Structure 1
Amino acid sequence: MACALARIHQSTADPRKPYTEIGSEDAFSGRSYDEKYISRLIYENHLPLNPTTAFLTPAFRNLNKPLTVDVKLNGEPPHTYEMTLQLLDEIYQGRVSAEDLLTEVLRFLVLIREERKKRIEILLDGLKSENKLTLSSEEIVSLIEQHLKCKNSSRLPVLIVAAAYQSVKDKLKEEVLPLASHQAADKQTRSFGDVEICLENEDQVVTVYEMKRKCVTIDDIDSACVKISPASRKINNYIFITTETIEDDVRLYALSCYERTEGTEIAILDCIGFLRHFLHIFHRSRARFLDTYQNLVLSEPESAVSQALKEAFLALRQAAEDRGSED
């Protein structure tokens, strides 16, 4: 899309040369077109694409040569990248106009967007029965646990913790700061972790959650201590949420960091254990938690939570509520 747009904007631009490092007069910055125009187009029209520039992906990063048909790009599936190079060559050879190609790509994206939107609407309609009994805390735990087992679910622990705090913020007098992109590094966002909790009506971070889809290590804890030490504001708790086993030596090491951090407690919690404990403490808010989690899942961009993962949650919730009605 960026290469086609560049050709439309500059008739002399070679769509196969989206790198200024090439040095020729017909080369251009594909990344600039991506960041200035394509990303905004994707975001504003909710197109089913990752709004992050494609020139940061491994296949297109750090290249300085024309994207001719004989170039081997390291991307999956290979056929997609081969066809991309072929389309760029079609524009260069004059067999397809850049405007026609860009128009057709956008047409397909809109069709895909509307098809996915319709599928979500159908699944949501199935959940609108007023006669269904609210799922119990343990049924919700089981539902979320099933969702976590789905493919490409690494973003979900962040949404679980955020939904927990958002659903009871009026009781806790604490609020969740806006979530950073799942692809953004802490250094870029100037954040301490994946979920940050501040006091109501204040911007003071008091609790930090860092999600791990692997075992938490002593190195992870040391890194947390480094982030905590220069903090100008007092962090009470730095909590790792993991979906893996918690080793005793690592847990004890975290416990020993209280004095080192001058009063910040570092703890490691099992993700499902955290959720179960939360739901039983705030049992009367369990329905609000489930609705909040659902809204967060559905509002995440495709790059963070895929369409399949969104549909899976709605289908799992429908099945769980149908079982409850039968019982």
Structure 2
Amino acid sequence: MAEKIASVAFCSSNRAGARFLLAATLAKTLKPLVDIRKPFIQAYPDTEKGDAYGGRNYDEQYVFQFITKRRLPCSSTTAFLTPAFRTKNIVLDLSQSLRGRPPELYRAILEILDAIQSGRVSAATVLNEMVRLLILERDEREARLKSLKRGLQKEAGDSPLSCEDTVRLIEQHLALKHSSRLPVLVVAAAYRAAAEKLGERVLRLHAHTAADKQTGALGDIEITLLDDNTVVTTYEMKDKPVTTGDIDIAIQKITNDAEIQNYIFVTTAPIDSSVREYANQQYRELGGVEIAILDCIGFLRHYLHLFHRLRTKFLDEYQELVLSQPDSAVNQALKEAFLVLRGAAQAGE
């Protein structure tokens, strides 16, 4: 049983399982008469009926606050919205085959729930062990990042990286798996580094997984003047080609917001010349609001040469943004990879 609990706590490819198990064992610990295999009642804890309970309520009301305060390595969104647990109305017994990856994770969860319900192990014991293991994982991750950062300081030479070396470093980082959030951080770091010279600042970065309709956002990054909160420039990041449909959606956002002056797509994919021309044609129709499509690396190269003396500050800002992102946006492997790549670049390797 200890091995199964550890497999859930340490599953690096799916952090939702740990959060689910925290919510389920918390509910069972607080209310021993509930069936821990029945977490799908759509009600608040004080209105639960029978032996079922509202697992999502325990997750969102109690577990989220706890893991956030303690910086525990769990999913940043509720586990009950993942495919394995979304809109279910079943008993999570050993006959179930939950959809999700890795399959071993979900099998282990079902076996742990069965062991708790049959009395072979207590919910409190599993809850305590989960918290203990997550603390160990958190501390180990933080220790690795601190060690890599210390190594960076040792590798720093007398002269900073050149603009082209900086571009190459970011290009290598963007080429890694699960890096779709990184272009957002490239643009955000550029503005943060040059805020005083530009007279503009990043107003906010929106959640990586949230749709613009949910957040009310104009784009992934919203830029405002230093002394104002009115959005004047919006950046939308794409890891696929920009289409005329994307342009039409941007036009709708612009017509609903009178203050925006620039709507800029930044993509890591090739840019279709006809789509770029379609964007250019909207300038007069939108009363002087410009829609542009930029290549991410091309944007960065031009920026670094334009603000040549800020290239180290840009890298520092990018590093800070990368390391501060939740694992759901930038996973631990990407964080460690950047520090390793930067160290190698500074060492001239």
Q: What TM-score do the two structures reach when normalised by structure 2?
A: 0.90
SS at match of 2:153: coil
Q: Give the Å deviation of 1:21.
A: 5.3
Tell me if 1:187 matches 2:208.
no
Tell me if 1:213 matches 2:268.
no
Between the aligned residues of both structures, percent identity stands at 53
Residue identity matched to 2:209:
Q
Tell me if 1:9 matches 2:34.
no
Q: Give the Å deviation of 1:261.
A: 2.2
1:137 corresponding residue in structure 2: 163
1:309 corresponding residue in structure 2: 334
Contact 1:207 1:237 in 2 (8 A): yes
Tell me if 1:250 matches 2:275.
yes
Matches within 5 A, 1:225-240: 225-231=251-257, 233-240=258-265
Runs (5+) with no aligned partner, structure 1:
none
Contact 2:263 2:290 in 1 (8 A): yes
2:15 corresponding residue in structure 1: none
2:138 corresponding residue in structure 1: 113
Report runs of 4+ in structure 1 exceeding 6 Å deviation.
Answer: none
Once the two structures are superposed, residues 18-64 of structure 1 have per-residue CA deviations (whole angstroms, 9 ceiling, x without a partner) of 11159961111111111011111111111111121000111110101
Distance 1:184 1:9 in 2: 32
2:110 corresponding residue in structure 1: 85
Distance 1:258 1:292 in 2: 33
Contact 2:157 2:346 in 1 (8 A): no
Distance 1:158 1:313 in 2: 15
Residue identity matched to 1:220:
D
Distance 1:140 1:131 in 2: 14
1:271 corresponding residue in structure 2: 296
Once the two structures are superposed, residues 221-245 of structure 1 have per-residue CA deviations (whole angstroms, 9 ceiling, x without a partner) of 10111111111x4111100000000
Runs (5+) with no aligned partner, structure 2:
1-21
2:201 corresponding residue in structure 1: 175
SS at match of 2:343: helix
Q: RMSD of aligned C-alpha atoms?
A: 1.3
Tell me if 1:38 matches 2:59.
no
Distance 1:75 1:128 in 2: 41
Q: Give the Å deviation of 1:181.
A: 1.4
2:175 corresponding residue in structure 1: 149
Correspondence for 1:224 among 229, 250, 258: 250
Q: Give the Å deviation of 1:188.
A: 2.0
Distance 2:96 2:254 in 1: 46
Question: How many residue pairs were aligned?
Answer: 323
Contact 1:240 1:268 in 2 (8 A): yes
Once the two structures are superposed, residues 281-317 of structure 1 have per-residue CA deviations (whole angstroms, 9 ceiling, x without a partner) of 0000111000000000000011110110001000000
Distance 2:98 2:288 in 1: 50
Residue identity matched to 1:3:
A
Tell me if 1:52 matches 2:77.
yes
